[in-house]
Amino acid sequence: MLTSSLVGLYDFENRQKLFVDVDSRMKFALLTAGSGALPIAREARFAFFCHSVDDLADPERTFVLTPEDILLLNPNTKNCPVFRSRRDAEITKRIYRLHPVLVDESDPAAPSNPWGIRFSRMFDMSNDSHLFRTREVLIDAGYTLEGNVFKRPGAEDMLPLYEGKMFNLFNDRWAHVESDAPVGTGPDDVVMPRYWVPVGEVPKEHDAFIAARGISNATNERTYISSFTPFPIGMGHSAQMVGISQDLKPLLLRFYAAISSFAFDFVVRQKLGGTNVTFSITEQFVMPSPETMRQAPAIEQVVCRLYSASASMCSRFESMGFPCEMTPCNEAARGADRARIDAWAFKLFGYTLDEVDHVMDTFPIVRKKDEAEHGEYRTKRLILEAFSSL
């Protein structure tokens, strides 16, 4: 049960050496709480990532939250979200009023899980290490490598064990684990893991899942990193498996388009105080209901196209009933398709044009990379153009 004793919480970073002998990365906070002898406050004032006391006088840096706001944003854990500005807080609260969280356990008698969300970890990198085999061991045992699967006549296949660093948004083959060599973009190019696992140890019921990195940071280029991956494969615990109800499997590509978007990432980074993207944190991410998603314009073809340079991914989409035609990788076309998905998601979540403009400015690393490569904030321009045309 929430009380109303909190008056203010001001979070500081020691960037300006307020404490001379303390590392500049250290954080500290000024907490003010009331007691029974003081009037009960119906709202508390907050500020995060401040560098000096002067920041507390900036009306754009401080914001207020009521107990009801905290329950709205984090109904299960009731912890405080971390906003960088008053505008961020206002936008996030408005989006949360429009849509439910993925899993709402605030009422134990009637928990809500409209997507039938299921979280799981397939293999623990320590506890299950007795199942893992290296390339050298398998070659010595007479296995040969086909793609990234080891095979031997009369023996079960050894599947690659994927880790979070191997995939990225709309990219199932982002990086090899033990090599800095670039991954090819041809139809049969694959990423190489550290380990392989027996096919018989891989659960069979995970065909409708999305892989998501379990480690992130709100100061990264993007916060929530997820991807479709080939199937079947092994998956280490650095990659969480997020599944939806089998009855909603026809909406899986729309669901992924939503969670891969800037619209979703913006609200996620307000909820992530550390680097671990735990199941309990993920449950409280906002998401339009399946009914709302069904009414949205079709986006499946665009999602498939972003994976269509990979033969194994086209095969997976086809097996799920989504047509996928092989196409060569084209980075300019991919940028336009990513913008279409982001514009679609901003509309789906209910952002206004002015809010989209603001949200895109809260991703400074994306801006910096764009300006270095294109001489402009290309991602923002493409999204705003696509959003305006919808």
Whole domain around residue 323: which residue ranges? 118-389
Of 348, 240, 356, 282, the residue nearest 101 (C-alpha): 282
CA distances from 50 to 32, 175, 207 (A): 16, 36, 45
Of 306, 281, 292, the residue nearest 349 (C-alpha): 292
- When pLDDT is cut at 50, 70 and 90, the band that residue 220 belongs to is confident
**41 and 153 housed in the same domain:** no
pLDDT, residue 271, reads: 86
In a domain, 79, yes or no: yes
**pLDDT per position as a tens digit, 117-164:** 999 999 999 999 999 999 999 999 999 999 999 999 999 999 999 999
Checking DSSP bridges between strand 158-162 and strand 234-235, what pairing results, if any?
Answer: parallel
Which pTM value belongs to this model?
Answer: 0.93
pLDDT, residue 217, reads: 74
CA distances from 52 to 7, 30, 174, 279 (A): 20, 12, 40, 35
Does residue 306 surpass a pLDDT of 60? yes
Largest Cα span, the chain = 79
**88 and 134 housed in the same domain:** no
Give the total number of structural domains in the chain.
2
**153 and 230 housed in the same domain:** yes
**179 and 323 housed in the same domain:** yes
**179 and 65 housed in the same domain:** no
pLDDT averaged over the chain? Answer: 93
What is d(CA 207, CA 192) in angstroms, rounded to the nearest whole number? 21
Q: What does the DSSP 8-state code read for residue 152?
A: -
Does residue 38 surpass a pLDDT of 60? no
- When pLDDT is cut at 50, 70 and 90, the band that residue 206 belongs to is low
| Top-confidence residue, 274 or 77 | 77
CA distances from 385 to 265, 336, 339, 362, 378 (A): 20, 10, 9, 18, 11
What is d(CA 168, CA 326) in angstroms, rounded to the nearest whole number? 20
